Amino acid sequence: MSGTPVGRAAAAIAIAVAATMTAACGDGAGDGAVKLSIGVFSDFGYDRLIEEYEAAHPGVRVEQRKVKMEQHHTQLATQLAGGRGAADVVAIEEGSIARFRRSKDKFVNLADHGARDLRSRWTAWKWQQGTADDGDFVLGLGTDMGGLALCYRRDLFQAAGLPVDREAVGALWPTWADFLATADRFTAATPGVKFVDTAQNVYKAVLDQTEEGYFAKDDTFIADTNPKVAEAFTLAASLGEKRQTGALTPFSQDWNVALKQGSFATTTCPAWALALIKAGAGEEAAGRWDVAAAPGGGGGNWGGSFLAVPAQSAHPREAYELAAWLTAPEQQKRIFKETGNLPSEPAAYRDPEVTSAVNDYFNQAPVGRIFGDAAESLQPTYRGTGDAQVTPVFNNALGRVESGRQSTKDSFEQAVREARDAVR
């Protein structure tokens, strides 16, 4: 029987099934250790920390899953909906946490495990972003934050007859209007080079320096009436109208190519963006980039994440302990040194080890001090539950102005209309 092709195939299948089952059993039983998984995106700098954590907690095994940021959040949403598949500890980005706050019953209330005792670790606003119900429900523990600075190309500034020293560069633009004036000077001197990479980033930086953006603090939609939105939009769009932007999608493939070609001179940079610029521009541009203070008097937050524990986790207690350890100032400090992600905890960003940090690639810029200062003056914008829906609508609108397809006025009106529909 087993000599016939069918018989052989059947035998092969039987073996395969048996093998799978053994593997599955092995996975379940193991050495009795608690298996935790942690789901992150881009670089959280956890590789070495996790090894250490495992060494200190012999009963715990941690598996790290890295996915691209957009996929990570979409995947998390479907996993929460399906009630299975989510990691024990999941990272949630600032732009998405408001939306997940609405589904807080899918998460463990970390206050039940004592998270409220850790409250004093974080700046007040970071703590607040991670909580719901006036602080009774702790959804996530803060990791890094954005901070805001402005990265610029020294050689291109020099060619345009602008100062290159970072203090002098920062002094060029106390306000955003000064930033626009600098753009005009730059373009007049070197018309072939774009002053900024994209209007979107300027827009975001300006808007992030206001208290409320698309949503009021009671979560009502105000993008159509909030003058700050229109102001930020018009300001950024004017760069686009004058063709002073590269009309690039931030952090896209084209953005990387343009970085490599050196076709733009400045980009707004939160702390985590330094790594992206370095990766895109490559080693041959080392020392050409530098970091100066952002226009508009510092402040402004872009990005930063939280660690949350889905309710479906089989080990909520252990998951919470891991999240609390990873977000402790001591660990956050080390992550800053490794990846440049700026801690959201005063004890960490005021630590001499952090404030004295310089970045070799960015011409020895004292990033610890620059971002530490930015962190001190930081007043984050309120993020509404619909922020993630509305943001792309306005970004697309800016893209239409940059590519010359629409006037600022028409584009803004269309964006407001679409945004209203999106949060209907």
Residues that bind other proteins (CB under 8 A): 68-71, 74, 77-78, 80-81, 99-100, 102-103, 106, 246-249, 252-254, 257-258, 261, 263, 388-389, 392, 395-397, 399-400, 403, 405-406, 422
| Residues paired with 39 in a beta bridge | 65, 90
Instruction: Please name which of 250, 298, 272, 294 lies closest in space to residue 143, comparing C-alpha atoms.
Output: 272
Q: How far apart are the first and last CA of the chain?
A: 66
Q: Which residue has the tokens 């974080």?
A: 122
What are the phi and psi torsion angles at 136 (to 5°)? -75, -30
Taking the complex as a whole, the smallest distance from the CB of residue 248 to other proteins amounts, in Å, to 8
Choose between 263 and 355: whose C-beta lies nearer to other proteins: 263
Pairing label, strands 264-269, 149-153: antiparallel
Q: Do 196 and 245 meet the contact criterion of CB atoms below 8 Å apart?
A: yes
Instruction: Please name which of 86, 255, 265 lies closest in space to residue 169, comparing C-alpha atoms.
Output: 265
Q: How far is CA 343 from the centre of its chain?
A: 13
Taking the complex as a whole, the smallest distance from the CB of residue 81 to other proteins amounts, in Å, to 5
Q: Per residue in 235-245, is it b (16+ CB within 10 Å) or e — as a string?
A: bbbbbbeeebb
Helix (H) or strand (E) holding 196: strand 194-196
Taking the complex as a whole, the smallest distance from the CB of residue 209 to other proteins amounts, in Å, to 23
Taking the complex as a whole, the smallest distance from the CB of residue 321 to other proteins amounts, in Å, to 26
Instruction: Please name which of 53, 41, 72, 293 lies closest in space to residue 144, comparing C-alpha atoms.
Output: 41
What DSSP designation does 212 have?
B
Taking the complex as a whole, the smallest distance from the CB of residue 67 to other proteins amounts, in Å, to 11
Choose between 341 and 406: whose C-beta lies nearer to other proteins: 406
Choose between 142 and 399: whose C-beta lies nearer to other proteins: 399
Choose between 103 and 120: whose C-beta lies nearer to other proteins: 103
Taking the complex as a whole, the smallest distance from the CB of residue 109 to other proteins amounts, in Å, to 17
Choose between 37 and 414: whose C-beta lies nearer to other proteins: 414
Q: What is the DSSP string of 104-151?
A: GGGB--GGGGTGGGGGGGS-HHHHHHTEEGGGTEE-EEE-EE---EEE
Taking the complex as a whole, the smallest distance from the CB of residue 260 to other proteins amounts, in Å, to 9
Choose between 99 and 126: whose C-beta lies nearer to other proteins: 99
Measure the CA–CA gap between 353 and 325, rounded to whole angstroms. 19
Pairing label, strands 305-308, 140-142: antiparallel
Choose between 123 and 313: whose C-beta lies nearer to other proteins: 313
Q: Phi/psi zone of residue 147: left (φ > 0), alpha (ψ -120 to 50 degrees), beta?
A: left
Taking the complex as a whole, the smallest distance from the CB of residue 73 to other proteins amounts, in Å, to 9
Taking the complex as a whole, the smallest distance from the CB of residue 207 to other proteins amounts, in Å, to 18
Cα Rg for the chain, rounded, in angstroms?
24
Taking the complex as a whole, the smallest distance from the CB of residue 20 to other proteins amounts, in Å, to 19
Choose between 251 and 349: whose C-beta lies nearer to other proteins: 251
Choose between 155 and 254: whose C-beta lies nearer to other proteins: 254
Measure the CA–CA gap between 168 and 162, rounded to whole angstroms. 9
Choose between 162 and 401: whose C-beta lies nearer to other proteins: 401
